[in-house]
């Protein structure tokens, strides 16, 4: 297992917009999405007789996205400018939203109003729901068409990333965009002082966690947010990562499967850490807070957390990064981040322009730039060769990129986000209310299956 030494982290770090899936989920009524809103570097009025063309004869496409601030916003704007320079017959109007929750609400409202954008960011379960209602277009014909992706190009995507573009019907419905996965942040000074090695297996992690908790007064191993069905926390996705390393599954043969013997084993693993005082639960990024305060030795969260952990540590100690420990079935990891879908109301001209843009975004040079600028991970394997200098100063990014081979997203099934959230309820019940793991997981699995059934899964 790779581990890196970062040294004393700098106080002067540009903090980008936090990009967790669970951040900022909002409810309530929002204004309907209008094709003309948003921002564009080339804001040309559309010809009302042909919404796929502008008065200058170019094709305009709209992109609903949540990369609305910091380096994410500037990087996406830069890429759009580059694309438009190379493709002067196409303009791309960005339609940024402040969070994924708002983005989903706006996309759903626009679909209901028969006025969706051309393309938009979407999680796998969003895409499944959109596909059920025929609100988006399958991309298989674009990918395999005359101006599509060659077999070599398709094979250049990380296998886990490429398989994520399919829905259960076997068709390609998405193209990858902003991807991340879990890594292990740790207080290198504390582990060295205690003579503890960086754990490479979950068995070793439990041993180090016990030593840290018992030998250092007022400190523990890690903190996490279990979340709930409304907003799954990082603890939910960490639990699923450990489950996979133990050989278990979230969803198998069309049914929720996390209440398996491996699920019980995973829950008991977490419960043993909790009973020993090595694991604590909290909200609002408790892992980052505890690590930064020197109270916890580890924070197990996504690579997107890196700048926030740097800020929390603030140079007080050396924060290092390693890949997640492995279990009996190897390393398990959760792929985070969204893909891009094409909405069905796009004109034929817009469809061709949108496909050209989506394909271009995933090319090695563009995905490498996006990764180096934003902290997300490159979706193409060949992009790593373009990032060697960057990796020399940002080795944690290479560790996270290499972990993509073990990372899997949540299954692309409508209602899956709510279903996954019931794991958070089970974690809380077992750890804090002393409910037996089998009982809590069985109840959670039943509710999760009902959530999927209500969505037609």
Same domain, 380 and 444: no
393 domain residue, yes or no: yes
Instruction: Give the percent of the chain with pLDDT over 90.
Output: 84
Domain count along the chain: 2
Per residue in 390-423, pLDDT tens? 999 999 999 999 999 999 999 999 999 999 999 9
User: How many angstroms separate the CA atoms of 186 and 399, rounded?
Assistant: 14
Give which of 186, 449, 214 is closest to 305, Cα–Cα: 186
pLDDT for 48 equals: 34
Same domain for 330 and 349, yes or no, is no
| 276 in the same domain as 290 | yes
Q: Let me know whether 230 and 327 are in one domain.
A: yes
Residue 56, C-beta contacts closer than 8 angstroms, at least 6 positions apart: 44
pLDDT at 33 over 80: no
Q: Which of 390, 408, 426 is the last residue of a domain?
A: 408
Domain identity same for 230 and 358: no
Tell me, yes or no, whether 111 and 49 share the same domain: yes
Assigned domain for 25 exists: no
What pLDDT shows up at residue 28?
35
Domain interval for residue 210: 181-335+413-454
One domain for residues 242 and 189:
yes
Indicate the Cα dihedral angle 279, 285, 288, 290, nearest 10°. Answer: -50
Q: How far apart are CA 338 and CA 207, in angstroms?
A: 35
Q: Please check whether residue 26 lies inside any domain of the structure.
A: no
* Cβ partners under 8 Å of residue 277, min gap 6: 213, 220
More confident residue, 57 or 447: 447
Are 227 and 354 within one domain? Answer: no
With tokens 């309530």, the residue in question is 28
Tokens of 127: 């895409």
Decide if 250 is inside a domain: yes
- Residue-wise pLDDT for 259-271, tens only, equals 999 999 999 999 9
Is 195 a domain residue?
yes
- pLDDT the model gives residue 455: 82
Q: Are residues 394 and 326 in the same domain?
A: no
The answer to whether residue 34 sits within a structural domain is: no
Q: How confident is the model at residue 457 (pLDDT cuts 50, 70, 90)?
A: low
**Residue 294 dihedral angles phi and psi, to the nearest 5°:** 75, 15
- Residue 56 has a pLDDT of 62
> Which CATH number does the domain housing residue 261 bear?
3.40.190.10
> What pLDDT shows up at residue 12?
31
Q: Is 252 part of any domain?
A: yes
Is it the case that residue 13 has pLDDT exceeding 60? no
pLDDT exceeds 50 at position 15:
no
3-state SS track over the chain: CCEECCCECCCCCCCCCCCCCCCCCCCCCCCCCCCCCCEECCCCCEECCEEEEECCCCEEEEEEECCCCHHHHHHHHHHHHHHHHHCCCEEEEEEECCCHHHHHHHHHHHHHCCCCCCEEEECHHHHHHHHHCCCECCCHHHHCCCCCCCHHHHHHECHHHHHCCECCCCCECCEEEEEECEEEEEEHHHHHHCCCCCCCEHHHHHHHHHHHHHHCCCCECEEECCECCCCECHHHHHHHHHHHHCCCCCEECCEECCCCHHHHHHHHHHHHHHHCCCEEECCCCHHHHHHHCCCECEEEEEHHHHHHHHHHHCCCCEEEEECCCEECCEECEECEEEEEEEECCCCHHHHHHHHHHHHHHCCHHHHHHHHHHHCCECCEHHHHHHHHHHHHHCHHHHHHHHHHHCEECCCCCCCHHHHHHHHHHHHHHHHHHCCCHHHHHHHHHHHHHHHHHHCCC
Cα separation of 335 and 380, whole Å? 15
User: Which of 370, 388, 408 represents a domain boundary (last residue)?
Assistant: 408
9 has a pLDDT exceeding 60: no
Residue with tokens 């999760």: 448
Label residue 30 by pLDDT band (50, 70, 90): very low
Same domain, 299 and 283: yes
Separation between Cα atoms, residue 112 and residue 110, nearest integer Å = 5
pLDDT given at position 217: 85
Are residue 376 and residue 348 in the same domain, yes or no? yes
Please indicate, yes or no, if residue 7 is contained in any of the structural domains: no
pLDDT, tens digit (0-9, with 9 covering 90-100), for 238-267? 999 999 999 999 999 999 999 999 999 999
Assess whether pLDDT exceeds 70 at residue 332: yes
pTM as predicted: 0.85
Last residue of a domain, one of 393, 408, 423: 408
pLDDT at 151 over 90: yes
Region 34-40: mean pLDDT is 39
Q: Tell me: pLDDT of 344 over 50.
A: yes
> Does one domain contain both 288 and 428?
yes
**In the predicted model, what is the mean pLDDT of the chain?**
89
């Amino acid at each position: 297992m790779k581990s890196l030494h970062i040294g004393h982290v700098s106080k002067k770090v540009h903090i980008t917009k936090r990009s967790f899936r669970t951040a900022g989920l909002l409810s309530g009524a929002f204004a309907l999405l209008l094709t003309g809103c948003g921002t564009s570097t080339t804001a040309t009025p559309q010809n009302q007789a042909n919404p796929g063309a502008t008065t200058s004869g170019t094709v305009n496409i709209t992109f609903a996205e949540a990369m609305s601030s910091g380096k994410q916003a500037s990087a996406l704007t830069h890429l759009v400018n580059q694309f438009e320079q190379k493709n002067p017959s196409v303009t791309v109007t960005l339609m940024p939203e402040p969070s994924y929750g708002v983005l989903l609400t706006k996309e759903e409202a626009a679909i209901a109003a028969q006025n969706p954008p051309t393309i938009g960011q979407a999680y796998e379960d969003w895409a499944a729901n959109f596909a059920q209602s025929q609100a988006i277009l399958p991309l298989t014909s674009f990918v395999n068409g005359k101006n599509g992706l060659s077999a070599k190009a398709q094979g250049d995507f990380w296998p886990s990333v490429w398989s994520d573009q399919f829905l259960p019907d076997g068709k390609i419905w998405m193209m990858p965009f902003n991807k991340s996965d879990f890594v292990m942040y740790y207080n290198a000074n504390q582990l060295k002082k205690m003579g503890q090695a960086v754990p490479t297996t979950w068995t070793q992690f439990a041993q180090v966690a016990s030593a840290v908790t018992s030998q250092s007064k007022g400190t523990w191993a890690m903190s996490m947010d279990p979340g709930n069905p409304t907003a799954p926390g990082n603890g939910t996705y960490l639990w699923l990562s450990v489950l996979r390393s133990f050989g278990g599954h979230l969803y198998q043969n069309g049914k929720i499967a996390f209440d398996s013997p491996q699920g019980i084993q995973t829950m008991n693993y977490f419960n043993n850490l909790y009973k020993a005082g090595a694991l604590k639960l909290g909200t609002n990024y408790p892992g980052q807070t505890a690590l930064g305060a020197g109270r916890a030795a580890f924070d197990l969260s996504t690579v997107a957390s890196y700048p926030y952990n740097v800020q929390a540590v603030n140079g007080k100690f050396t924060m290092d990064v390693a890949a997640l420990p492995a279990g009996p079935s190897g390393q398990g990891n959760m792929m985070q981040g969204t893909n891009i879908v094409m909405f069905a109301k796009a004109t034929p001209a817009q469809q061709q322009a949108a496909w050209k843009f989506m394909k271009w975004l995933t090319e090695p040079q563009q995905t490498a730039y996006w990764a180096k600028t934003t902290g997300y991970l490159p979706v193409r394997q060949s992009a790593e060769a373009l990032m060697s200098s960057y990796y020399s100063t940002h080795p944690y990014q290479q560790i996270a990129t290499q972990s993509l081979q073990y990372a899997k997203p949540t299954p692309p099934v409508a209602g899956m986000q709510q279903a996954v959230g019931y794991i958070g309820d089970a974690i809380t019940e077992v750890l804090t209310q002393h409910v037996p793991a089998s009982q809590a997981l069985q109840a959670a699995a039943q509710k999760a299956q009902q959530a999927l059934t209500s969505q037609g899964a």
